[in-house]
């Protein structure tokens, strides 16, 4: 038996890495091989008993099963053989129903075995198809029987006792093997899922630890960098106040400008790390939106005037209140309006507030350089700017809009953008309106 197994499926098994697929290959080989042996024994039984119909059927089955063994060895595939096995067994059931003129427990057991085998080796679609195929002749027979229809006037043949026992033995082995195989597959899957869950848990813990270390690193480095920068800025301010030399004062002002720019970048990186680590705590209060926007615009008005821009605020005519973190919301408005001023060289920057149903809208429109259609989906990504590298024309870390969106999402709102290249942009901050309970 081992020699024959090695001859027919040895190379096939070694080329198949899937353990469960290997089990199906062994199952099909064992069924075909045992069927050949059984059919040879049954052939001599039928020959001695004189069952001519069954004798012809047995010869056909021996030829088919023997050919199947050589087919598996040559092609290294069990798909077609599995279809043939199910169809031959199905045809055998149909013939037995005709010969016995009855649907017996023996036929039912074979039908169940065929259906399980089809699901096992060919998948769910083939399993459903063969299930229907097996039930059709059974339904027709039972319907004809209760309708008084008789398939023929002959005396129904009886299956030989030896064939009944041999066939029941084979069918029982097949069903037990498949149940055992399903149990092994279940245990393998359960073990694999358990290992996957453990690996995911370890990966989650590692990711959380790495995120914590990253946040601690950024916090410490930001502190270590910001402290000397503040010292440099403080000294430069003292020099600016003490010196009478205009050239030195000009250099000191440039130093302060660069220092503030570096300080803002470090602060933005720290703030982003806090948000990603979910350490940013909300201090929710009822906020007058019109007042907050006006205060923000007052602080930015000098920047707009220096560029000669028309800088206008159109507040909503009614009181607008939202439940929000004032520091967060102020920074979002400051980032969006500041960007509008920065990216607008001429024309105007306009800010509107209004209430639409239960939402508060803060719209910031400008006549600046706009955003290309290709870059628009990435406008809120961290560290991304449309002009980058040596070719970029505007300073900045690319974190302002990213932080703004994260803040707005934490506050339960959203930030939208519409833009046309070289024509301007419109950013819209949407927040839930506050209503007294």
pLDDT one digit per residue (tens) for the chain, 437 residues: 678 888 888 888 888 887 677 777 888 888 788 778 878 887 887 787 777 777 887 888 888 888 888 988 898 888 888 888 888 888 877 877 777 666 677 778 788 888 888 887 888 888 899 888 888 888 887 777 777 666 554 555 555 566 667 667 777 777 777 677 667 767 777 787 888 888 889 988 888 888 777 767 766 776 677 788 888 888 888 888 888 888 888 888 888 878 877 777 777 766 666 666 555 567 889 999 999 999 999 989 988 998 999 999 999 999 999 999 888 899 899 889 999 998 999 999 999 999 998 999 999 999 999 998 888 888 888 767 765 434 445 555 667 788 888 889 888 899 999 999 989 999 999 999 987 65
Reduce the DSSP state of residue 409 to 3 states and report it. helix
**E strand spans, 177-291:** 284-288
Tell me the C-alpha distance between 211 and 193, whole Å: 26
Q: 267 near 399, Cβ under 8 Å?
A: no
- Please report the pLDDT score of residue 353 as a whole number: 95
- Ordered by start, the domain boundaries in the chain are 1-199, 281-385+394-432
- Please report the pLDDT score of residue 278 as a whole number: 56
Tokens of 24: 């199906």
* HSE toward the beta carbon, residue 352, CA cutoff 13 A: 10
- Please report the pLDDT score of residue 383 as a whole number: 66
Rounded to 10 degrees, the C-alpha dihedral 174/179/185/186 comes to 170
User: Which CATH class for the 281-385+394-432 domain?
Assistant: alpha beta
DSSP letter at 378? G
Q: 57 near 92, Cβ under 8 Å?
A: yes
- Please report the pLDDT score of residue 391 as a whole number: 42
- Please report the pLDDT score of residue 137 as a whole number: 82
Contacts of 181 (CB under 8 A, 6+ apart): 20, 23, 24, 27, 120
Contacts of 304 (CB under 8 A, 6+ apart): 311, 341, 349
Tell me the C-alpha distance between 336 and 343, whole Å: 11
The answer to pTM > 0.85 is no
* HSE toward the beta carbon, residue 263, CA cutoff 13 A: 15
Q: Find where tokens 């149940």 sit.
A: 179
């Amino acid at each position: 038996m081992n020699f024959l197994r090695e001859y027919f499926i040895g190379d096939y098994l070694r080329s198949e890495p899937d353990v469960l697929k290997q089990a199906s290959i062994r199952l099909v080989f064992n069924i075909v091989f045992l069927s050949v042996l059984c059919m040879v024994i049954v052939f001599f039984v039928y020959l001695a008993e004189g069952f001519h119909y069954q004798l012809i059927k047995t010869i056909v089955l021996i030829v088919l099963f023997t050919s199947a063994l050589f087919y598996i060895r040559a092609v290294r595939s069990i798909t077609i053989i599995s279809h043939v096995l199910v169809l031959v067994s199905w045809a055998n059931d149909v013939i037995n129903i005709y010969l016995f003129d009855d649907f017996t427990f023996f036929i039912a057991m074979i039908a169940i075995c065929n259906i399980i085998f089809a699901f096992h080796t060919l998948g769910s679609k083939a399993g459903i198809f063969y299930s229907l195929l097996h039930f059709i002749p059974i339904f027709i027979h039972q319907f004809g029987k209760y309708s008084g229809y008789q398939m023929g006037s002959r005396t129904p043949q009886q299956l030989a006792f030896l064939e009944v026992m041999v066939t029941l033995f084979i069918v029982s082995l097949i069903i037990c093997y498949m149940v055992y195989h399903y149990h092994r597959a279940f245990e393998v899957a359960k073990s694999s899922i358990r290992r996957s869950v453990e690996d995911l848990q370890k990966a989650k813990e590692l990711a959380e630890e790495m995120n914590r270390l990253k946040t601690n690193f950024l916090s410490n480095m930001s502190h270590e960098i910001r402290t000397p920068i503040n010292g440099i800025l403080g000294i430069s301010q003292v020099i600016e106040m003490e010196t009478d030399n205009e050239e030195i004062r000009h250099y000191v002002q440039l130093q302060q400008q660069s220092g503030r720019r570096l300080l803002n970048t470090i602060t933005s990186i720290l703030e982003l790390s806090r948000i990603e680590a979910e350490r940013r705590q909300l201090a929710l209060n009822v906020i007058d939106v019109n007042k907050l926007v006006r205060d923000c615009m007052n602080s930015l008005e000098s920047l707009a005037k220096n560029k000669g821009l028309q800088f206008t605020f159109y507040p909503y005519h009614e009181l607008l209140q939202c439940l929000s973190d004032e520091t967060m919301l102020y920074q979002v408005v400051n980032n969006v309006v500041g960007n509008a001023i920065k990216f607008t060289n001429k024309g105007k920057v306009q800010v509107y507030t209004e209430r639409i149903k239960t939402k508060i809208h803060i719209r910031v429109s400008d006549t600046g350089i706009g955003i290309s259609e290709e870059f628009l989906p990435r406008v809120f990504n961290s560290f991304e700017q449309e002009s980058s590298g040596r070719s970029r024309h505007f300073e900045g870390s690319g974190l302002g809009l990213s932080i703004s969106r994260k803040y707005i999402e934490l506050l339960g709102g959203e930030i939208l953008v519409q833009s046309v290249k070289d024509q301007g942009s419109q950013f819209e901050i949407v927040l839930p309106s506050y209503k007294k309970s």
